[in-house]
């Protein structure tokens, strides 16, 4: 009769020999074949020695004792982990031809099921005492199982809640729904603390039903899809559409009228009360003939509106003569006394731009400020 160790070594020798033959036939390289043949020879040698010494286990020669050993006993129950591992392996294969996500999920299932299977198989034969074996298994597996299962459970609940919140017909509906849910949690919690005679089974049932309800709601809303969310226009979008004009656009609604970056800006441009464009270059107390900004770098310019109307600052950063070639950018409408920032970058020097560069305020003809880009 072959001992356990011998079976392992015989199997390894056969696999190495088959691999050597397969590699030698299909591959041109001799190095791999030599390596595999060497491995099979070495394994055959070890197998021979191991068979001779009977796994170095004196009791292995005692047939009766071997039959009575814990390892020889039938497991207490059938295991589901091989099934789970098989499912994981199938998912890996399925994912390869469909979606990579299924492969990743399959790998996780395969690894988890294999680990559980190994621990279970080992623990069931740890001793002849089944109670001890169960305790050993829990001591090994639970420090891993509990946090992982807890994290998965929390993630499922959070994801379900998020699906419900995104699926409710309106933002205020989501707020109301979860105020009600929170109130229910509070009421149930209060009742539980007041009625101390409530059994653990009842509490567990309540919690289970709640979790099931959340998950079912999440699944239902998830399948139904998210409610339509309105995307607010930006100044970049209106600039792209050529709407950097004097009229109010959606991008101008509820825009901020203050800027936190008050220092380290390239210049501050002000639309004065008499609707002229004035500028201030920090550190340049004497003033400059023209506003000079460097090329090929981001220049942060503050726009301050001191006029009575809502105005925006605009510039064509291409300095182009024809409309299709223009690259106009602008701020949102700035209220009286408000400030906004505009980041401007010029690719070419001013003399290379057909129309040069100039800041303008749409709707105010006299508000023009040339920019020198050397």
Q: Enumerate binding residues for other proteins (CB under 8 A).
A: 264-266, 281-290, 292, 294-300, 343, 347-349, 351-352, 372, 374
Give the residues across from 292 on adjacent strands: 372
| Eight-class DSSP state of 254 | T
Nearest approach, Cβ of 355 to other proteins (angstroms)? 15
CB of 94 or CB of 278, closer to other proteins: 278
CB of 169 or CB of 286, closer to other proteins: 286
Spatial contact of 346 and 296, defined as CB atoms under 8 Å apart: yes
d(Cα 34, Cα 31) in Å, to the nearest integer? 5
Give CA torsion, residues 168, 173, 177, 179, to 10 deg.
Answer: 140
Name the residue with tokens 């390289």: 29
CB of 135 or CB of 347, closer to other proteins: 347
The residues, any chain, with a CB within 8 Å of residue 46's CB and separated by 6 or more, are 9
Spatial contact of 315 and 327, defined as CB atoms under 8 Å apart: no
Nearest approach, Cβ of 255 to other proteins (angstroms)? 21
CB of 3 or CB of 299, closer to other proteins: 299
Q: Quote the crossing angle between the two packed helices 4-26 and 30-53, to the nearest 10°.
A: 160
CB of 105 or CB of 265, closer to other proteins: 265
Quickly list H helices, 54-99: 63-68, 81-97
Nearest approach, Cβ of 343 to other proteins (angstroms)? 8
Nearest approach, Cβ of 19 to other proteins (angstroms)? 39
Nearest approach, Cβ of 15 to other proteins (angstroms)? 43
Cβ of 356: how many Cβ atoms within 10 Å? 14
CB of 163 or CB of 304, closer to other proteins: 304
CB of 293 or CB of 367, closer to other proteins: 293
The residues, any chain, with a CB within 8 Å of residue 153's CB and separated by 6 or more, are 211
């Amino acid at each position: 009769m072959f001992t356990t160790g011998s079976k392992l070594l015989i199997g390894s020798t056969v696999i190495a020999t088959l691999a050597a033959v397969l590699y030698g036939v299909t591959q041109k390289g001799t190095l791999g074949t030599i390596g595999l043949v060497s491995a099979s020879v070495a394994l055959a040698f070890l197998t021979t020695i191991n068979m001779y010494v009977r796994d170095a286990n004196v009791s292995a020669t005692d047939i009766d004792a071997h039959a009575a050993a814990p390892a020889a006993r039938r497991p207490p129950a059938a295991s589901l982990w091989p099934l789970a591992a098989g499912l994981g392996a199938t998912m890996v294969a399925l994912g390869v031809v469909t979606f990579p996500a299924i492969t990743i999920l399959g790998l996780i299932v395969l690894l988890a099921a294999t680990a559980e299977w190994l621990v279970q198989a080992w623990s069931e034969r740890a001793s002849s005492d089944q109670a001890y074996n169960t305790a050993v298994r829990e001591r090994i597996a639970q420090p891993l199982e509990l946090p992982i299962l807890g994290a998965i459970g929390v993630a499922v609940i959070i994801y379900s809640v998020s699906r419900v919140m995104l699926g409710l017909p309106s933002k205020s509906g989501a707020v109301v729904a979860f105020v009600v849910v929170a109130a229910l949690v509070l009421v149930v919690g209060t009742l539980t603390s007041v009625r101390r005679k409530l059994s653990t089974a009842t509490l567990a049932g309540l919690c289970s039903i709640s979790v099931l309800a959340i998950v079912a709601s999440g699944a239902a809303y998830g399948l139904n899809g998210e409610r339509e969310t309105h995307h607010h226009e930006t100044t970049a979008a209106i600039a792209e559409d050529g709407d950097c004009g004097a009229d109010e656009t959606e991008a101008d609604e509820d825009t901020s009228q203050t800027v936190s970056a008050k220092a380290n800006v390239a210049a501050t441009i002000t639309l004065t009360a008499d609707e002229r464009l004035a500028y201030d270059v920090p550190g340049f107390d004497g003033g400059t003939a023209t506003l000079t900004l460097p090329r090929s770098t981001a220049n942060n310019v503050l726009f301050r509106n001191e006029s009575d109307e809502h105005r925006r600052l605009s510039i064509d950063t291409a300095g182009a003569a024809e409309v299709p070639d223009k690259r106009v950018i602008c701020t949102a409408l700035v209220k009286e006394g408000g400030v906004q920032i505009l980041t401007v970058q010029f690719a070419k020097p001013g003399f290379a731009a057909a129309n040069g560069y100039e800041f303008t305020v749409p709707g105010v003809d006299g508000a023009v400020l040339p920019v020198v880009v050397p």
